[in-house]
Amino acid sequence: MREAKIPVPEGRLATTVDEVVAAVEAIGPSAVKAQVLVGGRGKAGGIRFAETRQEAETVGRAILGMDLKGYRVERVYVEQKLAVEAEYYLSVTVDRSARKPLIMASAKGGIEIEDVAEGDLVRRHVDLSFGLPTYLCQEIAAEMGLVGDEAKQVATIIGRLYEVFRHTDAELVEINPLVRCGGRIIAADARLNIDDSALFRQGDLPAVEEGTALEKKVHAIGLAYVELDGDVAIMANGAGMSMATLDAVQHFGGAPANFLDAGGGASVEPTAQAIEVLLEMKPKVILINIFGGITRCDDVAKAITQVKTSRGIPVPLVVRLAGTNEQAGIEILQAQGIQAYRDMDQAAREAVRLSQGGA
Amino acid sequence: MGILIDRSTRILVQGITGNQGSFHAGQMVAYGTQVVAGTSPGKGGSVHHGVPVFDRVRDAVEETGASASVMFVPAPFAKDAAFEALAAGIKLLVMVPEHVPVQDTIAILEYARYQGALVLGPNTFGLITAGQAKMGIPPNHIFQPGPIGIVARSGTLSYEIADALTRAGLGQTTAVGMGGDPVAGQTFNEILHRFAQDPQTELVVMVGEIGGSAEEEAASFIQQMNKPVVAYLAGKAAPVGKRMGHAGAIIERGRGTLESKRQALEAAGATVVEMPWDVVPAVRRRLA
């Protein structure tokens, strides 16, 4: 924001209680904000205020190291406390339906955007090829109900925020709240979501990845993975098939432990890697659901065999193989004493039965 | 018949000498598709799978009359490849690569509109008109000519459903992949319009999933459509705020839930089934 010349409060990062104290002494009355990748941190106790040395110490101790919605707070941002006169909302995001960037603004800021009434929201699309003209920024500020110098400042910030959106390949850039403070408009808090697919050309942005330890590890080997809290570990090929497999397990009363897409055409090695991920979760049952299109059933069977012989599979394994090289895959598994199912519903039902203690 | 492509469509493969491009161009040729040209910068003048290779799309279009292109280039180069194809007069562009930056996609779609061209994808399996022609990566052997149109966001799940239809004696006209990205060149709504006008298509199977509102937006057309629609929607078990493999499959800020899609489609008269294996019985009921 600062680089884009959007006014922000004075502030600095701190990782220890001593640094928090030093920052508060330098800045004056401050807000101490937990640096974690979750929304709603204020409500969860992740933002507190400090004015004196004593308060800085207390607040620093309380926030640093705390658990905030499952994330440990390692860093805080100590920021000048603003005498807020008004709170606004501003964002640029991608409108999936219109297939265009969308600017949203409201004079009712400071709350989550979902809670802003539709009538209080100003929406304008932007043509990427033509860019954002100045008049449109002014029109948005006027429709927010702003006048005079305040409208002018907000219009300028809208233009700059759109530049941030473009230059950082953002999916969302949001200032909430945008505040008025002694006649000046300041971005008091902001959020920036970068498009993962554009990271290759966003080299100077600090990389922060969301997710649990296992999620990060699996993403690092290039697989799509989401950890859930059930006991049936699931692998399928393709995003849609993987989602449908979770749905099927739930349909029969089971609890999926994860989402794992082994890829639409994964060969032996990546598939074996994916199976090892499932084992790490220590599930009650493993369900592998493959419809071979580009993926070959015999490759999947070979991967299963490889994992079984190299490290063993200590939990019940239910496999469904259909499509390309189905018969070859079934035979490879048979040699390992594993019976493959042809139909997805039967395999899902069996996996759920085993997870509930069925022998 | 079918929609968008048939055996007369003259097709170009961008990136024909790469790993993916080479394998799938071969499969397309084997299916009987008229693959008339390929491009691969620096490999112009060679021949691949019996198909002449050009350095540039413009030369390929001028010499072979290609009107549709399927793209197998790495995502960081997809934008330039798309602009090259659209500038050369390609009217149907199928973008297979995954991980194309979303702002690149938006720019491509704006340019396509300007050029009067149609884009499928990115992150799509492509499309196949059964028994006639294929652009993209769906496996050849599971499709049979017949009366069912398929439009889907996801590949393998469509194959699962197409295979079940085929084994039940219910063949297909065309299966079309919209792609799994948040911003896609074609929506359910637009593809359904085409199926509505195709005399061979008697029923459309829609394979949707969580995220966005493309399913909801299709509802008003389904209501007045002259053909029945059977839908399966994936992602019932998906948690809020997590991307389920596809960049577009995410429930964000309260939007994109399965329940919202199911309600909109059912209210419009579509049959929404619970599980993939319920599609065939539902299709039989709606055709009866």
Q: Could you read off the pLDDT of A56-84 as tens digits, one per residue?
A: 999 999 999 988 878 889 999 999 988 89
Asked if residue B142 and residue B272 are part of one domain, the reply reads yes
Of all helices (H) and strands (E), which one includes residue B126? strand B126-129
Q: What angle do CA A201, A203, A207 make, to 5 degrees?
A: 120
Tell how far CA B59 is from the center of its chain. 26
Sheet holding B145-152, edge to edge: B133-136, B126-129, B172-177, B145-152, B203-209, B229-234, B271-273
Query: Among candidates A322, A262, A310, which has minimal Cα distance to A286?
Result: A262
B1 vs A252 pLDDT, higher one:
A252
Contact A240 B209 (CB under 8 A): yes
Amino acid occupying residue B240: V
Check whether residue B26 and residue B149 sit in a common domain.
no
Looking at residue A222, its pLDDT comes to 80
pLDDT tens readout for residues A232-290: 999 999 999 999 999 999 999 999 999 999 876 677 888 898 899 999 999 999 999 99
Residues of chain A with CATH 3.30.470.20: 86-201
- CB of B263 within 8 Å of a chain A CB? The answer is no
In order, the DSSP letters of A219-282 are HHTT-EEEE-SSSEEEEESSHHHHHHHHHHHHHTT--B-EEEE--TT--HHHHHHHHHHHHHT-
| Percentage of residues of chain A with pLDDT beyond 90 | 72
User: Which of B86, B120, B154 is at the close of a domain?
Assistant: B120
* Catalytic option among B24, B48, B141, B246: B246
Mean per-residue pLDDT, A289-306: 90
Q: Which residue has the higher pLDDT, A83 or B126?
A: B126
**Residue A42 pLDDT class (50, 70, 90 cuts):** confident
Q: At the fourth CATH level, which superfamily is domain A86-201?
A: ATP-grasp fold, B domain (3.30.470.20)
A312-325 confidence digits (pLDDT tens)? 999 999 999 998 88
B30-46 mean pLDDT:
97
Q: At B193, which CATH number?
A: 3.40.50.261
pLDDT higher than threshold 80 for residue B65: yes
Q: How far is CA A183 from CA A145, A150, A190, in A?
A: 16, 7, 20
Amino acid, single-letter form, for residue A345? D
B24 in a domain, yes or no? yes
- At A265, the amino acid letter reads G
Let me know whether B144 and B281 are in one domain: yes
Q: Choose the closest CB to A96 out of B107, B180, B212.
A: B212
Residue B148 lies in a domain: yes
User: Which chain A residues are Cβ-neighbours of B109 within 8 angstroms?
Assistant: 99
In total, the C-beta contacts within 8 angstroms joining chain A to chain B are 175
Res B122: pLDDT? 97
Closest CB to A169: pick one of B101, B187, B244: B101
Residues 132-151 of A with CB under 8 A from B: none
Q: Which of B91, B120, B149 is the last residue of a domain?
A: B120
| Domain A213-355, CATH | 3.40.50.261
At B78 the pLDDT is 97
Give the closest residue to B120 by CA, choosing from B89, B101, B147, B93: B93
Would an 8 Å CB–CB cutoff place A344 in contact with chain B?
A: yes
Domain that holds residue B22: 11-120
Mean pLDDT of A92-98: 95
Enumerate the CATH 3.30.1490.20 domain ranges in chain A, comma separated: 11-80
Residue B193's pLDDT is: 97
Percent of chain B scoring above 90 in pLDDT: 93
pLDDT at A296 over 70: yes
pLDDT digits (tens, 9 = 90+) for B236-261: 999 998 899 898 898 887 789 999 99
Residue B2 lies inside a defined structural domain of this protein? no
Distance from CA of A169 to the nearest CA of B (A): 7
What mean pLDDT do residues B165-175 have? 98
Domain A11-80 has CATH 3.10.20.30: no
Residues B145 and B263 in one domain: yes
Which of A37, A95, A96, A218 should one mutate to test binding to chain B, selecting the residue with the greatest count of B CBs within 10 A? A96
Residues B34 and B111 grouped into a single domain: yes
Q: Which residues 26-65 of chain A have a CB within 8 Å of chain B?
A: none
Write out pLDDT tens, residues B139-156.
999 999 999 999 999 999
Cβ contact B234–A240 (<8 Å): yes
pLDDT at residue A158 is higher than 80 = yes
Q: Which residue of A has its CA nearest to B237?
A: A247
Grade residue A208 by pLDDT with cuts at 50, 70 and 90: low
Q: Does residue A197 belong to the interface with chain B, where contact is any CB pair within 8 Å?
A: yes
Ranges in chain A annotated CATH 3.40.50.261 = 213-355
Q: What is the pLDDT of residue A20?
A: 93
Q: Are residues B170 and B235 in the same domain?
A: yes
CA dihedral A313, A319, A323, A324 (to 10 degrees): 10
Position B263 in a domain: yes
Residues in chain B within 8 Å Cβ distance of A262: none
CATH number of the domain encompassing residue B23: 3.40.50.720
Q: How far apart are CA A90 and CA A50, in angstroms?
A: 27
Q: Which of A89, A162, A225, A341 is catalytic?
A: A89
Q: A293 pLDDT exceeds 80?
A: no
For residue A235 the two structure tokens come to 């692998």
Chain B from 161 to 200: CB within 8 A of any A CB? 163, 180, 182-184, 187
Average pLDDT, chain A: 91
Please answer yes or no on whether B213 and A197 come within 8 Å at the CB atom.
no
Mark whether B24 is an active-site residue: no
